[in-house]
Structure 1
Amino acid sequence: MHANAHRTRRSDGTTPRAPHPSLPAERLAAFSDAVVAIAITLLAIPLIDLVPDALEDGDSAVEVVTHHAASISSFLLSFVVIWRIWTVHHEVFPRTGEVSGRVAQINVLWLVCIVALPFPVEMISSYGAEPFVLAIYVAVLFASSIALAAMALILRRTGTRDTTPSRGTVEQVLGNATCLTVAFLLVLAAPQLGFWPLALLLVDGPALALARRLAPRKPGGDA
């Protein structure tokens, strides 16, 4: 007989669905760390290729830097942005033992955004901060922040107090997503601002810290 025949049936004759598979949070975080490391490496590869190309063109060492300032700047900016997003991602899972299949699937979407980031970075190196290129770049970051916020909210809603992201972590994730949402809208509405809207990522932490200091403390609130 098939294994399905041995499943317990409900009173209405239907077979209950098998529980969604879970995954240890440590394995998910470790895999994500590896993918982020690869993405950062991919960002640096075009810079390494600049040196032999410059030698063939007869450029001096100084001209390697001055003639490719846009490529170097986009790399540095993207490195900082990925680092910022990764630190927020890393704070979501420390207290979680296992994650559901849904969270794992959303994490795959987050990883897709991180791995895809070198593509718009290379476009910026080639085309500069054109409105379309800039919109793609910030859109990838915006999508990654939305995926991360979704994971944090699902974990917060489905777990217990001791195994879910802390309230402060969720606030940080939502603050990061809010800043990138505003940055994305600014890039679409005022592309002449260039990369400056991404500076909002530097103020979400201090803004949340100030809001916590000003907010009245509730007895027994989640730390």
Structure 2
Amino acid sequence: MPTTRGLDRVVFFTDAVTAIAITLLILPLVDSVAQSAQQGLSIDQFLRDNGDGLAAFALSFAVIARLWMTHHAMFEHVTSYTRRLLVLNLLWAFTVVLLPLPTEIISQFPTTATSIAFYIGTMAVSSLLLTSMTLLVRGHPQLELDTNPIDDRKVFASIVATTLFFVALLIGVLVPAINFFALLILLLGWPLQALYDRRADARGARREGPPSNTGSRSDPKP
């Protein structure tokens, strides 16, 4: 029977895995510093030679941080766990640990459809697993915290993010000239979320109906 302490261990383990994965991103660059110093290169030469690696590090750091923030926010709604949720969480942790590998590949090898598919595909699968966990927890009496349920807005945001990742994957692989810049399509998530929020507010206003003015009227004089 899952317990609160067991859930805490799952969350702590996942947080530790994410922290290690982010740390691994920078280690190849740290090794490059030592190699560049031994070769007598200047700082400017080091930065020029490792420009792709620095860019890949920054992008992957931002992606992992965003994925972790989404994971952290989702587990704020979780009160317990099942075997299915545990398996999905472990698979998600696997994608996070894996990401430093394609990050290093794209910084060291020429860009190809394979490297693009490996890099963006890892992110897309990670996002898909987050969405799967969100949908599993939502409305589940054993999993969802009844005092803090997952609302429609978070479900929409998760589905949109996953969809955009897979669209970026298709564009990056099918249009070589765009390659990793296809990830910029993720920026569409903000206007789509804003549009959803406006429509949700409008639906809520229609359900409430027009405000009543009866209380502000003064009684007619006799």
Q: Partners in 2 of 1:189 and 1:141 — Cα distance?
A: 17
Match of 1:8 in 2: none
- Structure 1: give runs of 5+ residues left out of the alignment: 1-20
Rate the CA distance shift 1:60–1:31 in 2: closer, same or farther, 3 A: same
Shift of 1:23: 5.4
Q: Which deviations, in whole Å up to 9, do the C-alpha atoms of 1:76-97 show, x marking residues without a partner?
A: 0100111111111111111221
- Contact 1:23–1:100 at 8 Å: present in 2 too? no
Q: Which deviations, in whole Å up to 9, do the C-alpha atoms of 1:9-39 show, x marking residues without a partner?
A: xxxxxxxxxxxx4354433222211111100
Match of 2:2 in 1: 22
- Structure 2: give runs of 5+ residues left out of the alignment: 209-222
- 2:174 maps to 1:189: yes
Which residue, 191, 199, 204 being the options, matches 2:184?
199
Shift of 1:201: 2.4
Shift of 1:163: 4.7
Match of 2:195 in 1: 210
Q: Partners in 1 of 2:173 and 2:92 — Cα distance?
A: 22
Q: Which deviations, in whole Å up to 9, do the C-alpha atoms of 1:77-128 show, x marking residues without a partner?
A: 1001111111111111112211111011001000000000011011111104
Match of 1:13 in 2: none
Larger of the two Rg values belongs to structure = 2
Q: Which deviations, in whole Å up to 9, do the C-alpha atoms of 1:107-157 show, x marking residues without a partner?
A: 100000000001101111110432211110011011101111110001014
Rate the CA distance shift 1:31–1:166 in 2: closer, same or farther, 3 A: farther
Shift of 1:58: 1.8
TM-score (norm 2): 0.83
Q: Match for 1:22: what amino acid? A: P
- 2:53 maps to 1:67: no
Q: Which deviations, in whole Å up to 9, do the C-alpha atoms of 1:141-183 show, x marking residues without a partner?
A: 1110111111000101413553542222222111111111111
Rate the CA distance shift 1:75–1:188 in 2: closer, same or farther, 3 A: same
- Contact 1:179–1:201 at 8 Å: present in 2 too? yes
Match of 2:64 in 1: 82
Match of 1:9 in 2: none
Matched position secondary structure for 2:75: coil
Match of 1:41 in 2: 23
By percentage of residues, which structure has more helix? 2
- Contact 2:153–2:197 at 8 Å: present in 1 too? no
Q: How many residues align?
A: 200
Match of 1:100 in 2: 82
Bigger drift between 139-148 and 25-34 goes to 25-34
Q: Partners in 2 of 1:195 and 1:23 — Cα distance?
A: 42
Q: Partners in 1 of 2:81 and 2:188 — Cα distance?
A: 30
- Contact 1:95–1:164 at 8 Å: present in 2 too? yes
Match of 2:109 in 1: 127
Rate the CA distance shift 1:26–1:206 in 2: closer, same or farther, 3 A: farther
Q: Partners in 1 of 2:153 and 2:110 — Cα distance?
A: 37
Q: Partners in 2 of 1:98 and 1:151 — Cα distance?
A: 13
TM-score (norm 1): 0.83
Q: Match for 1:71: what amino acid? A: G
- 2:151 maps to 1:166: yes
